[in-house]
Amino acid sequence: MVGGYTPACTDAAADFYARFIETVVRARGTREAETAKLLENTYRHVNIALVNEMARFCHELDIDLWDVINAASTKPFGFQAFYPGPGVGGHCIPIDPNYLSHNVRSKLGYPFRFVELAQEINATMPAYVARRAQNLLNAAGQAVRGATILLLGITYKANIADQRESPATPLARQLSALGATVSYHDPHVATWDIGGVPVSRTDDLEGAVASADLVILVQSHREYDVDHLARLAKRFFDTRGVSTVREAHRL
């Protein structure tokens, strides 16, 4: 997507990108091109918030939301699948919609209500996951204080090393505040700290999974055999809906 200050600018940008990009889409100008990006990220932000909120009440009603999404996805039109998770991260979805909302409010004087509600829902997902983790331990007769909790995958997106705005950070902070001893494993991240405090990293994945009081799959990297790890764990909380092991708990 390119849009120039003048038509000649648009032509120059399109010619440049056409050298190495198969399809170049031209917008009317710079503002339209930038707003197209903001709209796309806001669209994802709002729809992720929708399924995150559905995840909460479907859990309370004992409805398998993942099966619901798969069923709805069979409709050949009018539906696009979005999936719940422990929160949103990266440099686009949590930031661009809020930037757009701030500009609407500051320049036009009224709120962008969809974005503000989506942000409220998505921003509280790490705390929701922490509460679910606490409940899982309580159900097993174990307090979260003093429990060992292993986080698998701390990046904001699968199969990359980027940790920007990762929901793993507020999740680890919430669990630590509850008194848990938090450690992590991530094949893409050698060291991790929260507010300058290092988080313990394990290299022995299977040993750490088997010994932890609770294992939380935060990001499903391709290196993880999730079902195998779920069978090894005492308790396994899958926030990505990828495990097929019956004993695993899903978001």
* Cα-to-chain-centroid distance, residue 5: 35
**In a domain? residue 13:** no
**Read out DSSP for 111-124?**
--HHHHHHHHHHHT
Please report how many Cα atoms fall inside a 13 Å half-sphere around the Cα of residue 88, on the Cβ side. 28
Whether the Cβ atoms of residue 3 and residue 32 lie closer than 8 Å to each other: yes
Give phi and psi for 26, each to the nearest 5. Answer: -95, 130
Counting as low any pLDDT under 70, the low residues of the chain are: none
**In a domain? residue 50:** yes
CATH of the domain at 241: 3.40.50.720
**In a domain? residue 9:** no
Q: What was the pLDDT predicted at 206?
A: 97
Q: Which of 66, 93, 121 is the last residue of a domain?
A: 121
Please report how many Cα atoms fall inside a 13 Å half-sphere around the Cα of residue 11, on the Cβ side. 3
Question: Do residues 183 and 219 share a domain?
Answer: yes
Question: Do residues 89 and 185 share a domain?
Answer: no
Q: What was the pLDDT predicted at 111?
A: 86
Question: Do residues 115 and 217 share a domain?
Answer: no
CA dist 146 and 137 (Å) reads 11
Active site positions, annotated = 92
Tokens (6 digits) for 242: 């990828």
Q: What was the pLDDT predicted at 193?
A: 94
Question: Do residues 57 and 162 share a domain?
Answer: no
**In a domain? residue 210:** yes
Q: Which of 121, 139, 156 is the last residue of a domain?
A: 121
**In a domain? residue 21:** no
Q: Which of 121, 136, 153 is the last residue of a domain?
A: 121
CATH of the domain at 105: 1.10.1040.10
For 130, the domain range is 126-250
CA dist 119 and 102 (Å) reads 12
Question: Do residues 139 and 117 share a domain?
Answer: no
Q: What total of structural domains would you count in the chain?
A: 2
Q: What was the pLDDT predicted at 102?
A: 85
Question: Do residues 205 and 175 share a domain?
Answer: yes
Question: Do residues 52 and 153 share a domain?
Answer: no
